[in-house]
Amino acid sequence: MWTSVPPDNLARDMGSSPGAGRPSSSAPIGIFDSGVGGLTVARAVLDQLPHEAIRYIGDTLHGPYGPLPIAEVRRHSLAVMDDLVAGGVKMLVVACNSASAASLRDARERYDVPVVEVVLPAVRRATAATRNGRVGVIGTQATITSGAYEDAFAAAPQITVTSAACPSFVDFVERGVTSGRQLLGLAQSYLDPLLVAGVDTVVLGCTHYPLLTGVISLVMGDGVTLVSSAEETAKDVYRVLTRLELLRDEDAPAPEHLFLATGDPEPFARLGRRFLGPEVGAVLHAASVGAA
């Protein structure tokens, strides 16, 4: 089975028959999120791998996942990933921290394509970046409650982790609000435990949060390093595709991207262009994929 990341464990995870069920290098990369936040991951992937095609599904019908019980997040996540794999992607990118926490192990056992997620790449980077061994993690309620980051940091016992749920950050980003007194006051309240703990590195454990780096940096101070799970995940995508020789031919025609939403495509398209840019053209309803 083509199981996955982290890349340093790739040889161990690939098994003894890497040719079995090998995906096509010309197939798109499948990226999944509960909404538009995962487009920050798609943006980072396209910046590093401009020749790759993207097939993205935002589960806006059921998202955001942050407030949902883990079992419900798992059910919705696997349903969307089933659709992506059935559509012929060569890799799955779980671009949602809540979904990674709820369904990563199931995904790696369930699919015969490599699976990249957002938690371990960010943990590796934060472990390398911290100078005093104190790291903060911010995320949705589901992500923080799951303990996924604490579990991942367990491999680095020298690190002390302080976690804080920031449930309203997603609402602000999706309303297009990334500055102002109300957001600043909220950020000060959310981030106070990290300041008290004296962290020198903060993992942005939600794909919406890169759009809030200004206010987060203002509260935490210039001496604190912010680690974007989106950027670190894109690096893993690059490494895994290179290692498995699945990079799309650079001489192939220009890639075509496909963006789908399980809910109303119009607000997804409008907000998606803010996250990703002009690459988000027409957005299809996920139910219409078979007819597209």
Average pLDDT over residues 196-210: 94
Average the pLDDT over each of 152-161, 174-183, 220-229 and give the range with the smallest value: 174-183
Please give the Cα distance from 252 to 267 (Å, whole number).
32
Residue 59 has pLDDT above 90, yes or no: yes
Residue 215 has pLDDT above 60, yes or no: yes
Please give the Cα distance from 174 to 164 (Å, whole number).
20
Q: CA 239, 249, 53 angle in degrees (round to 5)?
A: 75
**Residues annotated catalytic, as ranges:** 96, 206
Residue 254 has pLDDT above 70, yes or no: yes
List, in order, residues 6 or more apart from 174 with CB less than 8 Å away.
35, 36, 208, 271
Average pLDDT over residues 285-292: 57
Residue 172 has pLDDT above 80, yes or no: yes
Would you place residue 21 in the very low, low, confident or very high pLDDT band (cuts 50, 70, 90)?
low
Would you place residue 263 in the very low, low, confident or very high pLDDT band (cuts 50, 70, 90)?
very high
Percent above pLDDT 70 for the chain: 91
User: Which pLDDT does position 98 carry in this prediction?
Assistant: 85
User: Which pLDDT does position 18 carry in this prediction?
Assistant: 36
- On average, the pLDDT of the chain sits at 87
Average pLDDT over residues 222-245: 94
